[in-house]
Amino acid sequence: MAYDKPLPVPTREDRPFWEAAREHRFVLPRCRECGHVWFPPYESCQRCLSFEREWFEASERGVVWGYTLMQQPYVPGYRDELPYNVVLVELEEGPMVYSNLVGVPDDEIRPGLAVEAVFEDVTEEFTLIRFRRAEEPSGRDRT
Ligand SMILES: [Zn+2]
């Protein structure tokens, strides 16, 4: 069945992120000047405004910072999945990313849950990064 949910529209700023995801690699931008790591992948450092950006392989790990359960079909294509979760994950590297948790019952989703990235090939061109419960809790698991 054709994928009927919204897809990314890569820009010059985030194209390397999507290309890496397609190879099942989770990369983040890091500033060569001050070491700051940020997301979404704007072209310049959000701390010192330098354009000296490099990409590195992230740990793929983080903790749930917050979440919501969507009850309404605000986005076409998700109607059959209601309710579904949207989580804000705090990555070990610091940045926060919005995503979905897979394989975790709604009543077990909670802040502090240790998670790790999972790659979902949704089309020929795009792989989305979602999260699942981490197999080994990290030192930062607060639950
Ligand atoms: Zn910087």
What does the alpha-carbon distance between residue 26 and residue 19 come to, in Å, rounded to a whole number? Answer: 10
Q: How far is the CA of 31 from the centre of ligand 1 (A)?
A: 5
Q: How far is the CA of 129 from the centre of ligand 1 (A)?
A: 25
- Identity at 132, one-letter amino acid code: R
Task: Kindly list the structural domains of the chain, giving each domain's residue range(s) and its CATH number in brackets, ordered by start.
Answer: 10-58 (no CATH), 59-143 (2.40.50)
What does the alpha-carbon distance between residue 68 and residue 40 come to, in Å, rounded to a whole number? Answer: 20
Q: How far is the CA of 11 from the centre of ligand 1 (A)?
A: 21
Report whether pLDDT(136) > 80.
no
Q: How far is the CA of 55 from the centre of ligand 1 (A)?
A: 13
Q: How far is the CA of 30 from the centre of ligand 1 (A)?
A: 8
Report whether pLDDT(142) > 80.
no
Tell me the CA end-to-end span of the chain in Å, nearest whole number.
38
What does the alpha-carbon distance between residue 23 and residue 71 come to, in Å, rounded to a whole number? Answer: 33
For 48, 56, 58, the CA distances from 43, given in Å and listed in that order, are 12, 15, 18
Report whether pLDDT(24) > 60.
yes
Residues within 5 A (CB) of ion ligand 1: 31, 33-34, 36, 45, 47-48, 50
* Helix/strand/coil (H/E/C) assignment for every residue in the chain: CCCCCCCCCCCCCCHHHHHHHHCCCCEEEEECCCCCECCCCCCCCCCCCCCCEEEEECCCEEEEEEEEEECCCCCCCCHHHCCEEEEEEEECCCCEEEECECCCCHHHCCCCCEEEEEEEECCCCCEEEEEEECCCCCCCCCC
Residue with tokens 């931008």: 29
Q: Mean pLDDT over residues 110-117, rounded?
A: 97
Q: Mean pLDDT over residues 36-58, rounded?
A: 96
User: 0.85 exceeded by the pTM?
Assistant: yes
Give the Cα-Cα-Cα angle 8, 10, 15 (nearest 5 degrees): 125
Q: What tens digit of pLDDT does each residue of 81-102 get?
A: 889 999 999 999 999 999 999 9
What does the alpha-carbon distance between residue 106 and residue 115 come to, in Å, rounded to a whole number? Answer: 14
- Residue 64 is predicted with a pLDDT of 98
Q: How far is the CA of 27 from the centre of ligand 1 (A)?
A: 17
Q: How far is the CA of 10 from the centre of ligand 1 (A)?
A: 23
- Residue 26 is predicted with a pLDDT of 98
Q: How far is the CA of 97 from the centre of ligand 1 (A)?
A: 19
